[in-house]
Structure 1
Amino acid sequence: MKEHLTVVTHPLVQHKLTLMRDKHTPTAVFRQLLREISQLLAYEVTHELKMTTQTIETPLQEMDAPVLAGRKLALISILRAGNGLLDGMLELIPSARVGFVGLYRDEETLKPVKYYFKVPEQLDKRLTIVVDPMLATGNSSAAAVDMVKEAGATDIRFLCLLAAPEGVARMKAAHPDVPIVTAALDERLNDIGYILPGLGDAGDRMFGTK
């Protein structure tokens, strides 16, 4: 994966994203759409997984068939909203190892504060995909990737639903070696750090907390 930013323009991704942006979409439907879109995004972010072969028997003959190589990949969710992407991806990649980074954004400074961190072992031998629906200021995402790197990860991707130009620039400056995959690059941030046009607060809309 050579590009620092990949925007997935598949029609199903864009259609589902439009439904998610609509403020009238109810919580249950929003959660279902996020699960569906996360699987479609997962195809893009995993398309360069390493492969090998193993010998199997079909009902007709023996063959050398392609299978995934190496350690099971790691999915790291930035709590809490990252779990919406995580759930859908785990349906597609059930063998993945899972970690969590607990960060919240200080509403005054817009900087991340850590409250939880638990990730799989041997990250240095796994493709690690960090997931969070919104790449806004990029501060929380950059901090999460910092921590994942400190835990040993060297092959990292960042997967989000929406990205702001400010967040992409922040991530590129902090982690130029970490490709970003998203469904949309939106216009900008507003004065309180929310993505415009965006879809509101992903966590609140997912969990019905506002």
Structure 2
Amino acid sequence: MDGVTIVTHPLVQHKLTLMRDKARSTKGFRQLLNEIGMLLCYEVTRDLPLEQVEIETPLGAMTAPVIAGKKLVFAPILRAGVGFLDGMLSLVPAARVAHIGLYRDPETLTAVEYYFKAPSDLAERLVVVMDPMLATANSAVAAIDRLKEHGARDIRFVCLLAAPEGVRKLRAAHPDVHIWTASVDSHLNDHGYIVPGLGDAGDRMYGTK
């Protein structure tokens, strides 16, 4: 699928299966989301540019690689996207964090914004947008619209699950934004949920209905 990377690492696929199980506890689901976020972060940052610096090891001087440029920005879409954040920050602790508050109107399925806060220099940073579910893609498109309005030019999108409909919509709206996901499932149901999916990620994370 053009513009989409499906992360097939065995640990990612194993943890995804555990999360799909409806018997998984809230605590277990939240922990797995954190772990899988770390693994997805590893994949989405695989090609970051490096530069050489001079350092001193205990045994002598050497030239060694470090990540080049300004720090990354992680941009979770509230509230479920926050489930990825701790895992990703454990790998990239110096990253900046943008918060994008959106909820899905239950009648129209459109994204309604209630909060936005981001670093002022987005144009100079790689921005990784995260949301466990890419279903209708309304929230993802709205979040990326807002980030671009604030100057973001280098954006990547990370999710746990995607529906083909959501992938098509996001790619049509933002063809420059590559998608990383652990699975592209069958379809959306009449309520805009991914099938077979895993239910509502936010509700399962926080024990709400």
When the two structures are superposed, what TM-score results if normalisation uses the length of structure 2? 0.98
Q: Distance in 2 between matches of 1:37 and 1:77?
A: 15
Partner amino acid for 1:186? Answer: D
SS of corresponding position for 2:76: strand
User: Where does the alignment leave 5 or more consecutive residues of structure 1 unmatched?
Assistant: none
- CA–CA distance in structure 2, aligned partners of residues 200 and 88 of structure 1: 21
Q: Distance in 2 between matches of 1:116 and 1:184?
A: 29
Q: What letter matches 1:43 in structure 2?
A: Y
Q: Given residue 142 of structure 1, which amino acid in structure 2 is its aligned partner?
A: V
Could you tell me how far apart the structure 1 residues matched to 2:7 and 2:22 are? 22
Structure 2 match to 1:57: 56
TM-score by length of structure 1 reads 0.98
- Deviation above 6 Å: which 4+ runs of structure 1? none
CA distance in 1, matches of 2:178, 2:159: 11
Percentage identity across paired residues of the two chains: 65
Deviation at 1:50, TM superposition (A): 1.3
Alignment of 1:127-146 (within 5 A): 127-146=126-145
* Secondary structure class of the residue paired with 2:152: coil
Kindly provide the CA deviation profile for residues 114-160 of structure 1, in whole angstroms up to 9, marking residues without a partner as x: 10000112111100000000000011100100000011000000000
User: In the TM superposition, what is the alpha-carbon distance from 1:48 to its structure 2 partner?
Assistant: 1.2
SS in structure 2 opposite 1:152? Answer: coil
CA RMSD of aligned residues (A): 0.7
Question: Which structure 2 segments of 5+ residues have no match?
Answer: none
Partner of 1:40: 39
Three-state SS of the structure 2 residue aligned to 1:81 is coil
- Give matches, 1:5-154, under 5 Å: 5-154=4-153
Query: Which amino acid is the alignment partner of residue 183 of structure 1?
Result: A
Q: What is the alpha-carbon distance in structure 2 between the residues aligned to residue 180 and residue 30 of structure 1?
A: 23
- 1:50-84 per-residue CA deviation (whole Å, 9 max, x = no partner) reads 11011111121210110011110100010000000
